[in-house]
Structure formats: C-alpha cells, structure tokens
Structure 1
C-alpha cells in the first residue's frame, strides 16, 4: 500500500510542480518520477534548513511539489 501511496502522491506533486513551473504537466510517468524524487529532495532541503512541514497527505504533496520545483529550476539553469 505504501508503494501505491508514493506513486499517487508523486503523481500529484509532479503535476503540481509542472503546472507551477512550465504551465503544464509532463505526462503521468514523468510526473510520478518528478514527484517521488522531489519528495526526497524536499525532505532533504527542509531538513537541512530546519523547516517542519505539516504531516499527512497535504504535507507530503507540498514537500514533493517544492522538491520537484527545485529540480525543475536547477534543470532549467543547466538547459540555458
């Protein structure tokens, strides 16, 4: 069940990051990958900064989306 939860939260977080950064999503598979990796990056970044995000589904989506936005921002820097 936790794999399904991670995939669902990853898809939502990746889609949200895609909407905020580019104006559109990247497809279901890329959104899931971005969201899951974004969750890892977001947890690391928030931990390093000492920031605590709310628990539960909302906190997981927020952390994943912010992490995915960080990934997209850094990728945009290298793309130019």
Structure 2
C-alpha cells in the first residue's frame, strides 16, 4: 500500500471506511473525516495482520489494498463497538 501515495490512501481509506461503517451500522455516528481515518487505520491494521500471516501486501495493487482496508476497517469498528459497549442505531 505504500506505493499508492497519500491521495490513494485517502481515496481508498475514505471509501473503505464509508462502506465498513455501512456494514457495521456506525454510519450515523461518523462523518467523512472519521470514515477516512477508520479506512486508513483499518488498512494499516489489515496490512499488519496479513503480513503477520505471511501474505505479501506490498505488491497487491488497488483492489487488494481496498479489500485490505475494508476488512481492517470492519475489524476496527467491531473492536471499538466491543470495547465501548455501543450498540448500533436502528
């Protein structure tokens, strides 16, 4: 993911964070800036976890990076909800 540059990180992170917030039903509490942060941090988390199990994350490209960010963002939102005790809004 390092080859994408800062604009790529923002675009992929924002999109992944937004979709993850829809999956995890936290979209009502988040704005665009928090979606970007969740997506980028989720990408770091997902990349770290994949690298830890031996997956080559450096040469993945845009789609691999997006799905890594999406999975990491969902995991991050799940952990935040788990530790803060927040329930999803209906």
TM-score for the superposition, normalised by structure 1: 0.85
Runs of 4+ in 1 over 6 A off after TM superposition: none
In structure 2, what is the equivalent of residue 21 of structure 1? Answer: 24
Shift of residue 23, structure 1, vs aligned partner: 6.2
Counterpart pick for 2:13 among 7, 10, 14:
10
**1-structure distance, mates of 2:53, 2:20:** 21
Give the total of aligned pairs.
Answer: 80
Gaps of 5+ in 1: none
Find out whether 1:55 has 2:63 as its counterpart: no
SS, match of residue 50 in structure 1: coil
Between Structure 1 and Structure 2, the one with more helix by share is 1
Larger Rg: 2
